[in-house]
């Protein structure tokens, strides 16, 4: 956490769960894709903190989203680096707006503070993965990379999801022993002592 103080109690537990969702393997794959897509960008060191710092000012993200649009139709006009916090957050917001215009659902987009303060880098990874998937499906010739690639964890998760489709969980309930005895309709009065509605 860049600007927040230390977390304690429940806040600490929640942050630990969020941090466990971060995938270092996915970080490397996303980094390589961004570098291939944009070209001419410096490679960050392979750590969560360096990945966050690399994306934090919004410059890389803006150049990246512009690379997914045809030449002359860039969605973010200004991609100059800045040391000012407001300008950095503004560029992240511009990336998020452009990603939504590109077709990413608003529910799949991270919040500016998730990246800028490093609060939820796993959410940043998910947004970039969703963007990758959308870029592949558009088939407009602007995607750079292997369209058939998925990280190992993603392949494992897909397999688990397929297995889960064959199982009817107890959450679905059961109808054994179910009856409506004793139920009354809405608004009807129950006659006391008789059990009749």
The answer to whether residue 131 sits within a structural domain is yes
Residue by residue, pLDDT tens for the chain (197 residues) are 445 666 667 777 777 787 777 888 888 888 888 888 887 788 888 888 898 999 998 888 988 888 888 877 777 777 778 888 888 899 999 999 999 998 899 998 999 989 888 888 998 999 998 888 888 888 776 667 666 665 555 556 555 555 555 555 555 555 566 666 666 666 556 555 655 55
pLDDT score recorded for residue 1? 42
Give the Å distances, CA to CA, from 81 to 46, 77, 134: 21, 13, 27
Q: What CATH number does residue 74 fall under?
A: 1.10.418.10
Give how many domains the chain has, as a whole number: 1
| Dihedral angle computed from the Cα positions of residues 83, 84, 89 and 94, in that order, rounded to the nearest 10 degrees | -80
The answer to whether residue 66 sits within a structural domain is yes
The answer to whether residue 116 sits within a structural domain is yes
Q: Rounded to an integer, what distance in angstroms lies between the CA atom of residue 126 and that of residue 111?
A: 12
The answer to whether residue 147 sits within a structural domain is yes
What letter does residue 108 receive in the DSSP assignment? G
| Domain encompassing residue 32 | 13-164
Longest dimension (CA), the chain: 84
The answer to whether residue 182 sits within a structural domain is no
Cβ atoms of 105 and 6 closer than 8 Å: no
The answer to whether residue 197 sits within a structural domain is no
The answer to whether residue 132 sits within a structural domain is yes
The answer to whether residue 155 sits within a structural domain is yes
Determine how many CB atoms are found less than 10 A away from the CB of residue 173: 9
Cα atoms in the Cβ-side hemisphere of radius 13 Å centred on 110: 26
């Amino acid at each position: 956490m860049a600007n927040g103080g230390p977390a304690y109690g429940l806040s600490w537990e929640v942050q630990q769960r969020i941090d466990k969702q971060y995938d270092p393997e996915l970080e490397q794959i996303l980094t390589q894709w961004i570098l291939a897509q944009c070209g001419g960008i410096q490679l960050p060191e392979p750590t969560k903190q360096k990945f966050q710092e690399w994306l934090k000012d919004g410059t890389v993200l803006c150049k990246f989203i512009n690379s997914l649009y045809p030449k002359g139709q860039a969605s973010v006009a200004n991609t100059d680096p800045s040391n000012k916090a407001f300008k950095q957050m503004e560029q992240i917001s511009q990336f998020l707006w452009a990603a939504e215009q590109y077709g990413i659902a608003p529910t799949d987009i991270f919040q500016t503070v998730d990246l800028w303060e490093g609060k939820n880098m796993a959410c940043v990874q998910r947004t970039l993965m969703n963007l990758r998937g959308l870029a592949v499906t558009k088939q407009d010739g602007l995607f750079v990379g292997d369209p058939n690639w998925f990280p190992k964890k993603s392949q494992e998760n897909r397999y688990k999801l397929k297995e889960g489709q064959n199982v009817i969980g107890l959450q679905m309930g059961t109808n054994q022993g179910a009856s409506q005895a004793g139920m009354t309709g809405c608004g009807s009065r129950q006659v006391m002592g008789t059990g009749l509605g």
